[in-house]
Structure 1
């Protein structure tokens, strides 16, 4: 089946006249008739029938008509947007994002999107994952950016990448020079973690339980930025997603965790069955590409930084 088959079919289904349909798609009646016959043979059932001098759609033809029309509209809109003289998109994208992603990912994506589509308006709200899900179900958001929910029910979760949690300590911390660290080694280590109401905290607690470690949680906070600020000023460590650590933030050491490695999956949350206008799909494309690119870049940077720190500490010991 080729695109032209669908175009000829929709034209005939709309006009119910071989003469007018052929004029509409700029082919001869014999060509149109031949193409329709090819489509019917491929599908294995008639799409039209003649009643006297009239042409009518069969039940199968009427069923296919709606799907074919929508498919052609989507294709035509997409092709039109790729043309150099295409008009500007208009509309509004309503986004809900949790704190971690609102720190860097969302501003970067919004900047890229507005550079391409300056006439589209964007609304971003920093919300908890639970509120994002509720607002999506109510139709008050177009998409959400959060970690995979425990019970998505009527929402569709589109994974972006897998993100490892890391230990973050100050440069002066005894563990700062380590390339990797097992979670059991954090037994009775002073940590500041997210509050227990966060699903991320639940996962971290489960990882500690699995390896038989019990860290000393000296503080709990609801956002990452103050946690990192506390870590930079003390000998207290924390466990956060690697993408939550701002690039170039001085005074901190980022150390990968293992045995087990806490891992979370960020992604896009959609309401099942919702209509996605072109401008929303365009933002989602930018979001997917940016998120994956940032994830890969941060992993490489983290490896290089820890190798340099480890090398520096070895040199200091030799001296």
Structure 2
């Protein structure tokens, strides 16, 4: 059985050794400003300093790593904020450009007396060329009705793009000009010869056809085509669109000089990338 007094002596010796070790380690850190500790304890202190150096290096590395991790996290957050700001500015620039084009639409088309204008956004477009329609976010509750002409602007050009063919309270369907079911009275700008404009068929968003232009009329490429409005005494040329709305520009003539000649034109507005439109309500001839 171990004597209790011997146990106490062992504890005191162990405590003394721990205290001496702490003193030596403290002395080792204290000599960092210059030289090694002299005297009999010098080699022991130097050894302790060498032992402690990896610990100091580890502590420094942990601190540097923590600082680098925080700096990296801050940089990632700043990059994310800059990307969000860039996206916001790009969206604002796009929106400003769209509003600029739409703002000048009425003045460019001389629409001051052409009914009431209702601005709308395109919220859906036909996924294929076989259904030439768009859906807009304004409907009957905003005064939009079936048959209303729809216009839009594209860069520096603006013109007719179609007609409302189905209306709900807060939405409407617009059939675009390439749809063969959409027909409107039209004429060559500056002339007196009228015809019927229709689409050239599904899949031809950039090609419209003006029919029934007399063969005696010389048609030149580049001539502008506009709506005719209702032609007095010609019931077949009754129009729900007001006169002189730009539609497109002549690109070629099939069967030129014959009574069956077909005038082809390209719309002023790219019908495949419509984003916003204006609906003219109460602007055309609605008489039976």
- What's the TM-score, normalizing by structure 2? 0.26
Q: Which has the higher contact order (CA 8 A, sep 6+)?
A: 1
Question: Whose radius of gyration is greater, 1 or 2?
Answer: 2
Structure with greater proportional helix content: 1
